[in-house]
Homo-oligomer: A and B are copies of this chain.
């Protein structure tokens, strides 16, 4: 005994396939087919255009959550950064977004703040959201297990920060070569006494840069002044601190300094300026990343190009390949020296 239909419990918020089906006098599944580009050919043309007309008129909008529950895919890629305030991550997000947006996919963003437990919680949460894939730019050495465990469940790509001793798919950048380029550049300018400002050791980029630099330096007769410790974070404040410590040792200062990233280089510049040491007259300074603005500093900063935008794009493409079951062809993006005004030839009196 059919009663009058009662209003559904949840406030009706949108048009559903059922609404269209009723209006068009067909079955919901027919509407589903007519509206799905890959199935539309199974529906007679007349029915199809009629259905589409009704859908447009009613302002139908597919319910991606419902579809996701059915299909198991959410058209969503997790992007996990350590610190969103680092200007180095923005271009990665930018590249990633561009690479996946065309496929209707979008990144969901979270930030670990370089805390392991937060990281673990975020990975877990992303899995609960059933993201289709993850791009991780937050890896530190201690995070390997949680990352590999997540990667067993969903395609996961490392970008921006590599991970020592892991075989996870990643967008590879040759940090070691970057370090070599920095040393080679200083060597070519005649510098002999050099020093590095080290980024944190558990972020794999930095030890690699350090190794490349040291190897080239020692192989070319340069003297590398032992560094006064290591940055806790790769920030300007830490670069400033390290540079101060170096100057405070009282030993003869280096004529060439390689800071492991641009932010640290900026901090170092401040420390040098405060001591009356001029760049590049007294000290040549090399950074890493080529952040958007460093070319406009006075003097403009010599740096190693890190192709962030391309890294983000490559990560997106990699994820999409992985989703399509394709072979993972690991992308490989080379560093490049950008010589600018913060380095100059060592003169006789320098």
> A residues bordering B, Cβ < 8 Å?
10, 13, 61-66, 68-69, 72, 74-76, 79, 84-85, 87, 89-91, 93-94, 97-98, 101, 104, 106-111, 124-125, 127-130, 153, 236, 266, 269-270, 291-294, 296-299, 309
B292 engages A124 (CB within 8 Å): no
**With A and B bound together, what is the CA distance between A172 and B223 in angstroms?**
55
Interface pair A85/B76, CB less than 8 Å apart:
no
Bound CA–CA A101/B84 (angstroms): 13
A307-B76 Cα distance, complex, nearest whole Å: 30
A298 B298 Cβ-Cβ under 8 A: yes
Q: Which residue of B lies closest to A78 (CB)?
A: B106
Q: Which residues of B contact A72 (CB under 8 A)?
A: 10, 13
- Determine whether the beta carbon of B104 is less than 8 Å from that of A125: yes
Minimum distance in angstroms from A313 CB to a CB of chain B = 12
List B contacts of A266 (CB < 8 A): 293, 296
Chain B residues positioned under 8 Å from A293 (CB to CB) = 87, 266, 291, 293-294, 297
B-chain residues with CB within 8 Å of residue A101 when the two chains form the complex:
110-111
> What B residues does A89 contact at CB under 8 A?
90
Residue of chain B at shortest CB distance from A67: B128
Query: Are A76 and B296 within 8 A (Cβ)?
Result: no
Which of B63, B68, B87, B107 contacts A90, CB < 8 Å? B87
- Whole-angstrom distance between the alpha carbons of A294 and B124 in the complex? 38
Whether the Cβ atoms of A107 and B109 lie closer than 8 Å is yes
CA distance in complex: A111, B13 (Å)? 26
Residue of B66, B129, B236, B297 near A298 (CB, 8 A) is B297
Give chain B residues whose Cβ lies under 8 Å from the Cβ of A97.
84, 109-111
Which of B94, B111, B127, B294 sits near A61, CB closer than 8 Å? B127
Q: A68-B65, A101-B110, A107-B108 are in contact. Are A85 and B74 (CB under 8 A)?
A: no
Q: How far is the CA of A84 from the CA of B92 in the complex (A)?
A: 10
In the assembly, what is the distance between CA of A130 and CA of B16, in Å?
13
Compute how far the CA of A293 lies from the CA of B298 in the bound complex, rounded to whole angstroms.
12
Q: A109 touches which one: B65, B74, B109 (CB < 8 A)?
A: B109
The 4 closest A-B pairs by CB, nearest first: A298-B298, A84-B94, A293-B293, A90-B90
Whether the pair A66, B64 counts as a contact (CB closer than 8 A) is no
- List chain B residues, Cβ under 8 A from A76: 108
Cα distance, A69 to B72, chains bound together (Å): 13
Interface pairs (12), CB distance under 8 Å: A10-B72, A64-B130, A65-B130, A69-B69, A79-B109, A85-B90, A85-B309, A93-B109, A98-B111, A106-B110, A107-B109, A298-B298
Return the chain B residue nearest A107 by Cβ: B109
Residues of B within 8 A of A107 (CB): 108-109
Chain B residues near A292 (CB-CB < 8 A): 85, 87
A104 to B63, CA, bound (A): 22
A127 (CB) vs chain B CBs: closest residue: B61
In the bound complex, what is the Cα–Cα distance between A97 and B107 (angstroms)?
13
Smallest CB–CB gap between A288 and chain B, Å? 15
